[in-house]
C-alpha cells in the first residue's frame, strides 16, 4: 500500500518547497511546519514501504520520458535504508532549525530550500536510471549552492557557494562523460544484438546497465566506472576535489548538518554503491576507489588536527569519514565482492547519525557563545549539559570506541555505532591487504583512526572543559533544539547493534535485481586478535593523547603552533588547496591567462584588425552610402527593398535570361 | 487550417502599420500586444493541430506571385519550422509586455517589434527560396532601427556593423540561391524558386567545386547569423548597444534563423556536396570552437550584457555541433537547443536590461550585492543563469544532454572538448552572479529600485516555460525528432556516416 505512493516520498517535499517559498511569510515560523510535515510524510512512507518489502521484495515503477529515456522509481534494500535515514535525519534537522533559525528574517527561503534539498536527495536515492539520478544529483548541487550562499550578502558566503558548485561541477562533468560513454556502449551492445533490452525497460535503467555488463568491453567499463567515481569524488569531497566542503561552512550550521549527514555528500558514496556491479566488473576502478578513499581518510584527518573553527574540524572529519566509506567499497569490494556495499552503507548511515548530531551540537554551542572559534570557548560543560553529553557520545562514536567481546566467545560486543561500522571497513581493508599483500590502504585507515580520535577529543576538551575563555554567558539551547540531539544520540549509541541484520538485508540487494557478481571467498580466515583490537587501541590512544594535552594540559603545544613550523603551516593553510583552486587555477590561469588572451584575440585581432581595419573600412564607407539612402522610416524600408529588387534584376540579366 | 499561416504573418503586419499610425504610447502598445497576441493564438492552434508523427509539410498554402520566374508565396510547416514559429509568437508578445514602459517614439518602437515578428515568421514558414530571402532581409531593417534609434552611446557604429555584416552574408547566400535557381531551371526547363525543388536538383550539378562553393556560400550565410566563430564579432557590439527589447529579439529569434538554415538547407545538401566528409568536419570544428571560444570570452567580459552575448555564441555552437553529428537525436537535440536558448536568453537579456535601468550600469565590477535591493530580479536572474549553465530540470539541459550523448557516436573527440567547456560555463555564470548580485551592497550605487511588475510578469512566464520544457520536452521534441530522423535517413543514404 505504501509502495504505491512511493513517488510522494519526493513529491511531498517538492510541494512543501513551492508552498513555503511563496506562502511561508504568512505562516508560523516562516512556514517551517510545511517541510516538517512533508518530510515526516516522506519518512512514514519510506518506513511503511520498508515494512512491506522486507525482506526480499523491491518496488519498480517506470514511465517513458523523452528520446528513449525514462523516469522511474526503484526501491530495493539499498534504496530503502537510505530513504529512511535521509528522511529521518532531515526531519530532525528541520525541527531543530525551528529553534536555530528563529531570529533569521529569511526563514521562508531557508525552509523552502532545505525542503527542496531533501527532495533532491530523496530523488537521487530512488532513481531507477542513471539520467534521473544525475538530474536529482545536480539539483542537490543547486540546493547546496543556494544554502551555502544563504547569507548571500556576506562575500565569503557568496564565494563559498560558488566554489562548492564549481568544484562539484568538475566531478559532475566527469559523471556526465561517464553517462555519455555508457550510453554509447549500451547502444552498441543493443545494436550488435549481443543483448536486448527487456520489454518495458529502458536503456539507461540500472537493471539494463547491469544486465549489459558482460557485453561491454572491460576497458570501456573501467573508464565508465572511473568517470562515475570522478562524480563521486566531487560530490563526496574526496581528494583532490575536497576543498569545497570545509568552505561550505559559510551556510547556517543546520545546512552543514544536512550536507554532511543526510542530503549531499553521501550521494557520491551512494553512486558507487548503486552502480557497484559495474565496479566489481572493473577491478582496476575498485583499486582507485580504495586508494583515493584511504588517502582522503588520512589526508583530511591531518587538517582536522589543527583547525580552530569548530565546524571546520567537523568538515574535515566528514571528508575523512567519506574516505572510509570509499575505502570500504574499494578495498572490501576487492576482498569480498558485493558484501562491501553493506559494510560501506552501514558506516554511511551510522556516520549520518553521529555527524548530524555533532553539527547540531556545534550549532547549539555557536548559538550559545556566538563564535565558531574553539579557542574562545571552554568550560561549557556545566552550562550546556545536554549538548556536552550528546557531543561526547558522538565523539565516542566517531572515534569508534567499543569492546569487541564477540571475539571472546560472548555473543555480542559492546560499542558505539561507529565502533561497529568503522571497524568493519578497517577489517575489510585488512582482508584486502592479506589477500594481495598490499597493506597500504589498511595503514591509511589505521593512521586516520588515530588522528580522528585525537582531533575530535581535542575539539571536545577545548569546547567543554577548562576555564571559559570568553565573557559570554552561555546557556543551554531550547527544547526544540535539544530533543533532536537526544534522539540522534540514542541512534549514535545503539544503531551499531543492527549490524548483522543490516548486512543480511542489504547484501541481498543485487541478487534481488538478478545481478550475478563475482563472489570472492576471502572471509574464511578470521583476523588475528591484534587486528581486531587495533582500531579500538588507536581510538583509545587518541583519546589519551588529547586528554593529556588538552584536558590535563601537561604539554604545551603552543610552541608548535607557529608560522615557523612548516608542518603546521602546511596544515593550517590546508595544503594550499584554496590558493591553488581559486587563485591559481580559477583567477590566474583561467581568467587572466586563457580568457583575457581570448578577449585580446577577439577584440584586437579578429574584430579590430580584420573586421574593422581591413574589411571594416570598406564596409563603413559602404555603410555611409547606405545611410544616406535611409533618411526616414518608411522610405528606408522601401529603399532597401528596391535596392534588393534592382540587384535581383541585374543578376537575372547577368544570368542570361 | 488553410490560410492560417498567412493570417499569422499578415495580422502583425497590419498591426505594425496601425501601430505606426497611433498617436499615444498606450494605443501603440495595446495594438502591438493585441496583434502579436493573435499571432500567438494562431500559432498555438497550429501547434495543437500539428501531426508530430509526420515529417511532411503541413498546413501548406500556395499563392502565385511572379509566375514568369516561378516565384510563389508558398508557406508550410514541418517539425523544423513549427517549434520556431511557436517560439517567435511566444517571445514577441512577452517582449512587448517587458517593454511596456517604453516612452521614446513608442509607436515606432512597437511597430518595429511587430515587423520583426512578420520577418521571422516569414523565414520560418516560407518554402519558396525567393520569398524566404525577402523575409530574411526584412528582418534586418527593423533591427537596424531598433539599435540605431533606441541604442546606447555607440549605436551608430553597432547598427551599421550589424547591418553590413549580416547583409554581406545574406548577399553571399543570395548568390548561392541564384546558382541553385539557374541550375534547376536549366535542368527542368521551367523556372521555379520552390525550395525543395532547388535543393533536390543540387545533386545533379556536375562540378564538385561548384557544389562546394554553393554549399559554403549558404553555410556562410547561415553561420554568420547564428553567429559562429570567427564570424561573430558583430554580435557583442550589436548587443551592447541595442535596447533590451532589441537584444531579446536578436538573440532569441534572429540567431535562430541561422540554425534554421542549417536544418532546412545545409543538411539536405550535405550528402550531395563535393566533399561531404570535410564539410562535416568543418561544421563540427566551427561548432566546438564556438562553444569553447564563447565560454572563455564570456569569462573575460566586464559588461554583463556582453557576457550574455558571448554565452549565446557558445550555446549556438551546440546547434552546429549537434547538426554536424548527423545522428537523429543529436539533430533534434540541436533543434531543441534553438528553441530552448530562445527562451532562456530572453531572461538573461531582460535581467541585463533591468539592472541597467535600475542601477544605471551593467559593468560587473561596478555592481555588487544588488540582490539586497532587487530581490525579485535576483531570483529571476538566478533562475535564468542556472538554466543557461545547463541545470537539469530546465530546457537547456535536455538539449545539451541529447546533443552530447548522441554526437559521441560520430564525433567523440568534439564531444569531449565540449564537455570540457561545461565547468567554465558554470564558472562565468556563477562568478558574475557572485560579483554583481551577491556579496556586500555597493553603496556607490545609491538607491536602486527593483524590477517593474510588467517586467517581472514577462520574465516569470519565460522562467516557467523554461522549466516546463525542461520537464516535458515531448510536445516540441517529438516533432523535431520526426523530421530529424527523416533528415538523417536521407543523409545516411549517401554514406556520409555509417
Question: What is the tens place of the pLDDT at every residue in A273-291?
Answer: 999 999 988 989 999 999 9
Q: A115: distance to nearest CA of chain B, Å?
A: 17
Of A526, A544, A575, the domain-final residue: A575
- One domain for residues A333 and A447: yes
- One domain for residues A516 and A627: no
Would residue B314 count as lying in a domain? yes
- Model pTM? 0.91
Q: In A261-399, which ranges are continuous DSSP H helix?
A: 266-274, 276-280, 283-304, 310-327, 333-336, 339-369, 385-399
Closest CB to B408: pick one of A180, A622, A636: A180
Residue of A109, A158, A175, A224 to mutate, interface with B, max B Cβ within 10 Å: A158
* A63 touching B (Cβ < 8 Å): no
Contact A66 B433 (CB under 8 A): no
Percent of chain A with pLDDT over 90: 32
Do residues B338 and B323 make contact, with C-beta atoms less than 8 angstroms apart? no
User: Measured between alpha carbons, how far is residue B222 from residues A40, A329, A604 in Å?
Assistant: 56, 52, 25
Predicted confidence at residue B383, as pLDDT, reads 94
B-facing residues of A in 596-625 (CB < 8 A) are 596, 598-599, 602, 606-607, 611, 616, 619-620, 622-623
Q: Is A64 helix (H, G, I), strand (E, B) or coil?
A: strand
- One domain for residues A559 and A636: no
Contact A153 B369 (CB under 8 A): yes
Q: B385: distance to nearest CA of chain A, Å?
A: 12
- Distance, in Å, from the CA atom of A312 to the CA atom of A150, rounded to the nearest integer, reads 18
- One domain for residues A530 and A499: yes
Would residue B495 count as lying in a domain? yes
Would residue A86 count as lying in a domain? no
* A594 touching B (Cβ < 8 Å): yes
Contact B20 A179 (CB under 8 A): no
Tell me which chain B residues have a C-beta less than 8 angstroms from the C-beta of A186: none
Predicted confidence at residue A620, as pLDDT, reads 64
- Distance, in Å, from the CA atom of B464 to the CA atom of B467, rounded to the nearest integer, reads 5
Tell me which chain B residues have a C-beta less than 8 angstroms from the C-beta of A157: 438
State the number of CA atoms in the 13 A half-sphere of A4 facing the CB: 1
Tell me which chain A residues have a C-beta less than 8 angstroms from the C-beta of B377: none
- Distance, in Å, from the CA atom of A493 to the CA atom of B52, rounded to the nearest integer, reads 60
Between A512 and A73, the higher pLDDT residue = A73
Predicted confidence at residue A465, as pLDDT, reads 82
Checking if the pLDDT of A316 tops 80, the result is: yes
- One domain for residues A392 and A487: yes
* A67 touching B (Cβ < 8 Å): yes
Of A575, A593, A620, the domain-final residue: A575
Q: How many CB pairs under 8 A join A and B?
A: 157
Contact A183 B163 (CB under 8 A): no
Would residue A90 count as lying in a domain? no
Would residue A111 count as lying in a domain? no
B297-310 per-position pLDDT tens digit: 898 888 999 999 99
Would residue B494 count as lying in a domain? yes
Q: A134: distance to nearest CA of chain B, Å?
A: 8
- One domain for residues A468 and A492: yes
Q: Is A288 helix (H, G, I), strand (E, B) or coil?
A: helix
Percent of chain A with pLDDT over 70: 93
Predicted confidence at residue B496, as pLDDT, reads 46
Tell me which chain B residues have a C-beta less than 8 angstroms from the C-beta of A177: 416, 419
Residue of B183, B331, B392, B415 to mutate, interface with A, max A Cβ within 10 Å: B392
Range of the domain at A632: 584-654
- Distance, in Å, from the CA atom of B229 to the CA atom of B317, rounded to the nearest integer, reads 9
Average pLDDT value for residue range B232-238: 88
- One domain for residues A506 and A637: no
Would residue A330 count as lying in a domain? yes
- One domain for residues A195 and A306: yes
Between B201 and A553, the higher pLDDT residue = B201
Would residue A502 count as lying in a domain? yes
Would residue A68 count as lying in a domain? no
- One domain for residues A227 and A289: yes
* A149 touching B (Cβ < 8 Å): yes
Would residue B249 count as lying in a domain? no
- One domain for residues A396 and A458: yes
Residue of B176, B325, B367, B434 to mutate, interface with A, max A Cβ within 10 Å: B434
Residue A576 has a CB neighbour count (10 Å cut-off) of 12
Range of the domain at B441: 275-498
Identify the DSSP state of A75.
E
Per the structure, the count of domains in chain A is 2
Would residue B219 count as lying in a domain? no
What are the residues whose beta carbons fall under 8 Å from the beta carbon of A182, sequence distance 6 or more? A130, A204, A209, A224
- Distance, in Å, from the CA atom of A358 to the CA atom of A418, rounded to the nearest integer, reads 13
- Distance, in Å, from the CA atom of A391 to the CA atom of B29, rounded to the nearest integer, reads 65
Q: A251: distance to nearest CA of chain B, Å?
A: 14
B396-420 per-position pLDDT tens digit: 999 999 999 999 999 999 999 999 8
Tell me which chain A residue has its CA closest to the CA of residue B383.
A142
Q: A51: distance to nearest CA of chain B, Å?
A: 32
> pLDDT class for A239, splitting at 50, 70, 90?
confident
Would residue B313 count as lying in a domain? yes
- Mean pLDDT, chain A, as a whole number? 85
B169-198 per-position pLDDT tens digit: 899 999 999 989 988 888 888 888 999 888
Tell me which chain A residue has its CA closest to the CA of residue B168.
A619
Residue B227: asked if its preceding bond is cis (omega within 30°), the reply is yes
Checking if the pLDDT of B260 tops 80, the result is: yes
- Distance, in Å, from the CA atom of A214 to the CA atom of A195, rounded to the nearest integer, reads 10
Whether this model's ipTM surpasses 0.95 comes out as no
Q: Is A205 helix (H, G, I), strand (E, B) or coil?
A: strand
State the number of CA atoms in the 13 A half-sphere of A182 facing the CB: 27
Would residue B369 count as lying in a domain? yes
Contact A152 B371 (CB under 8 A): yes
Between A534 and A139, the higher pLDDT residue = A139
Residue B148 has a CB neighbour count (10 Å cut-off) of 21
> pLDDT class for B276, splitting at 50, 70, 90?
confident
Per the structure, the count of domains in chain B is 1
Would residue B12 count as lying in a domain? no
Q: In A236-265, which ranges are continuous DSSP H helix?
A: 244-247, 253-257
Would residue A13 count as lying in a domain? no
Contact B386 A599 (CB under 8 A): no
User: Measured between alpha carbons, how far is residue A614 from residues A606, A608, A617, B163, B228 in Å?
Assistant: 10, 9, 6, 17, 20
Contact B332 A67 (CB under 8 A): yes
- Distance, in Å, from the CA atom of A122 to the CA atom of A12, rounded to the nearest integer, reads 11
Would residue A113 count as lying in a domain? no
Average pLDDT value for residue range A19-40: 87
Contact A599 B297 (CB under 8 A): yes
- One domain for residues A319 and A257: yes
A342-374 per-position pLDDT tens digit: 899 999 999 999 999 999 999 888 888 888 888
Of A550, A575, A600, the domain-final residue: A575
- One domain for residues A534 and A631: no
Amino acid at each position: 500500500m505504501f509502495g504505491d505512493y512511493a513517488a510522494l516520498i519526493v513529491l511531498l517535499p517538492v510541494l512543501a518547497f513551492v508552498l513555503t517559498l511563496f506562502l511561508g511569510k504568512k505562516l508560523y515560523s516562516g512556514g517551517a511546519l510545511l517541510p516538517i510535515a512533508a518530510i515526516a510524510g516522506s519518512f512514514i512512507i519510506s518506513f511503511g514501504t520498508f515494512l512491506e518489502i522486507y525482506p526480499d521484495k523491491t518496488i519498480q515503477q517506470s514511465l517513458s520520458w523523452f528520446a528513449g529515456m525514462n523516469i522511474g522509481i526503484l526501491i530495493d534494500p539499498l534504496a530503502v535504508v537510505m530513504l529512511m535515514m535521509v528522511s529521518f535525519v532531515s526531519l530532525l534537522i528541520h525541527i531543530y532549525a525551528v529553534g536555530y533559525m528563529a531570529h533569521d528574517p529569511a526563514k521562508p527561503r531557508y525552509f523552502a530550500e532545505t525542503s527542496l534539498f531533501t527532495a533532491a536527495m530523496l530523488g537521487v536515492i530512488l532513481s531507477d536510471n542513471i539520467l534521473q539520478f544525475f538530474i536529482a544529483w545536480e539539483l542537490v548541487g543547486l540546493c547546496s549552492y543556494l544554502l551555502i550562499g544563504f547569507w548571500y550578502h556576506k562575500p565569503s558566503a557568496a564565494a563559498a557557494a560558488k566554489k562548492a558548485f564549481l568544484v562539484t561541477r568538475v566531478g559532475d562533468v566527469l559523471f556526465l562523460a561517464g553517462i555519455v560513454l555508457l550510453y554509447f556502449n549500451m547502444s552498441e551492445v543493443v545494436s550488435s544484438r549481443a543483448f536486448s533490452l527487456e520489454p518495458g525497460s529502458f536503456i539507461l535503467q540500472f537493471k539494463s546497465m547491469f544486465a549489459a555488463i558482460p557485453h561491454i568491453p572491460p576497458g570501456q567499463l573501467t573508464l565508465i566506472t572511473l568517470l562515475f567515481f570522478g562524480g563521486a569524488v566531487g560530490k563526496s569531497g574526496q581528494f583532490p576535489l575536497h576543498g569545497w566542503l570545509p568552505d561550505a561552512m559559510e551556510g547556517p550550521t543546520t545546512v552543514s548538518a544536512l550536507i554532511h549527514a543526510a542530503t549531499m555528500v553521501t550521494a557520491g558514496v551512494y553512486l558507487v554503491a548503486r552502480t557497484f556491479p559495474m565496479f566489481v566488473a572493473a577491478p582496476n576502478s575498485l583499486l582507485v576507489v580504495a586508494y583515493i578513499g584511504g588517502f582522503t581518510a588520512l589526508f583530511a584527518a591531518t587538517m582536522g588536527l589543527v583547525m580552530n573553527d569548530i565546524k571546520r574540524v567537523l568538515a574535515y572529519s566528514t571528508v575523512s569519514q567519506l574516505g572510509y566509506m570509499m575505502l570500504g567499497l574499494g578495498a572490501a569490494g576487492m576482498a569480498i565482492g558485493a558484501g562491501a556495499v553493506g559494510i560501506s552503507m552501514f558506516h554511511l548511515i551510522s556516520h549520518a547519525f553521529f555527524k548530524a548530531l555533532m553539527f547540531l551540537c556545534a550549532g547549539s554551542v555557536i548559538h550559545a557563545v556566538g563564535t565558531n572559534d574553539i579557542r574562545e570557548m571552554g568550560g561549557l560543560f556545566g552550562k550546556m549539559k545536554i549538548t556536552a553529553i550528546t557531543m561526547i557520545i558522538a565523539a565516542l562514536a566517531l572515534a569508534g570506541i567499543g569492546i569487541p567481546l564477540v571475539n571472546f566467545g560472548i555473543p555480542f560486543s559492546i560499542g558505539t555505532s561507529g565502533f561497529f561500522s568503522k571497524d568493519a571497513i578497517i577489517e575489510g581493508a585488512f582482508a584486502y591487504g592479506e589477500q594481495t599483500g598490499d597493506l597500504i590502504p589498511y595503514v591509511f585507515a589505521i593512521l586516520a583512526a588515530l588522528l580522528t580520535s585525537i582531533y575530535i577529543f581535542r575539539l571536545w576538551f577545548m569546547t567543554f572543559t577548562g576555564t571559559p575563555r570568553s565573557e559570554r554567558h552561555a546557556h543551554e539551547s531550547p527544547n526544540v533544539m535539544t530533543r533532536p540531539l537526544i534522539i540522534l544520540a540514542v541512534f549514535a549509541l545503539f544503531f551499531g547493534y543492527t549490524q548483522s541484520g543490516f548486512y543480511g538485508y542489504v547484501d541481498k540487494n543485487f541478487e534481488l535485481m538478478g545481478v550475478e557478481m563475482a563472489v570472492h571467498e576471502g572471509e574464511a580466515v578470521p583476523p588475528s586478535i591484534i587486528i581486531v583490537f587495533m582500531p579500538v587501541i588507536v581510538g583509545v590512544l587518541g583519546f589519551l593523547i588529547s586528554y593529556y594535552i588538552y584536558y590535563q594540559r601537561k604539554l604545551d603545544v603552543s610552541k608548535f603552533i607557529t608560522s615557523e613550523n612548516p608542518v603546521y603551516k602546511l596544515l593550517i593553510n590546508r595544503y594550499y588547496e584554496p590558493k591553488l583552486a581559486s587563485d591559481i587555477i580559477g583567477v590566474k590561469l583561467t581568467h587572466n591567462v586563457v580568457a583575457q588572451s581570448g578577449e585580446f584575440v577577439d577584440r584586437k585581432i579578429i574584430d579590430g584588425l580584420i573586421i574593422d581595419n581591413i574589411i571594416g573600412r570598406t564596409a563603413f564607407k559602404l555603410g555611409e552610402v547606405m545611410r544616406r539612402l535611409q533618411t526616414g522610416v518608411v522610405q528606408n524600408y522601401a529603399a532597401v527593398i528596391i535596392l534588393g529588387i534592382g540587384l535581383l534584376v541585374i543578376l537575372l540579366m547577368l544570368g542570361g535570361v | 487550417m488553410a490560410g492560417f499561416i498567412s493570417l499569422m504573418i499578415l495580422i502583425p503586419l497590419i498591426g505594425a502599420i496601425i501601430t505606426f499610425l497611433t498617436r499615444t504610447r498606450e494605443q501603440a502598445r495595446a495594438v502591438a500586444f493585441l496583434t502579436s497576441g493573435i499571432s500567438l493564438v494562431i500559432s498555438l492552434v497550429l501547434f495543437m493541430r500539428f501531426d508530430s508523427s509526420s515529417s511532411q509539410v503541413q498546413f501548406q498554402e500556395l499563392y502565385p506571385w511572379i509566375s514568369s520566374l516561378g516565384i510563389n508565396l508558398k508557406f508550410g510547416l514541418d517539425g523544423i519550422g513549427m517549434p520556431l514559429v511557436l517560439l517567435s509568437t511566444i517571445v514577441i508578445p512577452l517582449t512587448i509586455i517587458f517593454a511596456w514602459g517604453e516612452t521614446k517614439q513608442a509607436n515606432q518602437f512597437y511597430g518595429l517589434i511587430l515587423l520583426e515578428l512578420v520577418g521571422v515568421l516569414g523565414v520560418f514558414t516560407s518554402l519558396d527560396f525567393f520569398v524566404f530571402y525577402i523575409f530574411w532581409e526584412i528582418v534586418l531593417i527593423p533591427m537596424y532601427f531598433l539599435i540605431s534609434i533606441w541604442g546606447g552611446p555607440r549605436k551608430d557604429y553597432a547598427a551599421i556593423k550589424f547591418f553590413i555584416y549580416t547583409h554581406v552574408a545574406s548577399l553571399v547566400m543570395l548568390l548561392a540561391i541564384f546558382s541553385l535557381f539557374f541550375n534547376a531551371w536549366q535542368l527542368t526547363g521551367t523556372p521555379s524558386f520552390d525550395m525543395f525543388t532547388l535543393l533536390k536538383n543540387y545533386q545533379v550539378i556536375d562540378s564538385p567545386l561548384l557544389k562546394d562553393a554553393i554549399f559554403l556560400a549558404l553555410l556562410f550565410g547561415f553561420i554568420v547569423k547564428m553567429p559562429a566563430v570567427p564570424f561573430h564579432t558583430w554580435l557583442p557590439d550589436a548587443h551592447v548597444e541595442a535596447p533590451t527589447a532589441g537584444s531579446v529579439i536578436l538573440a532569441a529569434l534572429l540567431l535562430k534563423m541561422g540554425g534554421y538554415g542549417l536544418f532546412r538547407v545545409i543538411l539536405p545538401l550535405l550528402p550531395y556536396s563535393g566533399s561531404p566528409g570535410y564539410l562535416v568536419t568543418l561544421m563540427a570544428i566551427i561548432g566546438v570552437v564556438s562553444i569553447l571560444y564563447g565560454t572563455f570570452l564570456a569569462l573575460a567580459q566586464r559588461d554583463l550584457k556582453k557576457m550574455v552575448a558571448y554565452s549565446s555564441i557558445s550555446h549556438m555552437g551546440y546547434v552546429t555541433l549537434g547538426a554536424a553529428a548527423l545522428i537523429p537525436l543529436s539533430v533534434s537535440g540541436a533543434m531543441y537547443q534553438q528553441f530552448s536558448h530562445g527562451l532562456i536568453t530572453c531572461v538573461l537579456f531582460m535581467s541585463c536590461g533591468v539592472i541597467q535601468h535600475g542601477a544605471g550600469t551593467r559593468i560587473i565590477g561596478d555592481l555588487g550585492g544588488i540582490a539586497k535591493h532587487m530581490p525579485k530580479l535576483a531570483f529571476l536572474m538566478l533562475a535564468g543563469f542556472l538554466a543557461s549553465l545547463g541545470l537539469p530540470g530546465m530546457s537547456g539541459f535536455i538539449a545539451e544532454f541529447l546533443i552530447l550523448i548522441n554526437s559521441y557516436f560520430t564525433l567523440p573527440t568534439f564531444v569531449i572538448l565540449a564537455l570540457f567547456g561545461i565547468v567554465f560555463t558554470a564558472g562565468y555564470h556563477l562568478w558574475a552572479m557572485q560579483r554583481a548580485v551577491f556579496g556586500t551592497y555597493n553603496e556607490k550605487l545609491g538607491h536602486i529600485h527593483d524590477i517593474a511588475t510588467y517586467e517581472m510578469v514577462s520574465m516569470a512566464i519565460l522562467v516557467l516555460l523554461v522549466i516546463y520544457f525542461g520537464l516535458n520536452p515531448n510536445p516540441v521534441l517529438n516533432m523535431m525528432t520526426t523530421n530529424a530522423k527523416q533528415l538523417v535517413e536521407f543523409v545516411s543514404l549517401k554514406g556520409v556516416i555509417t
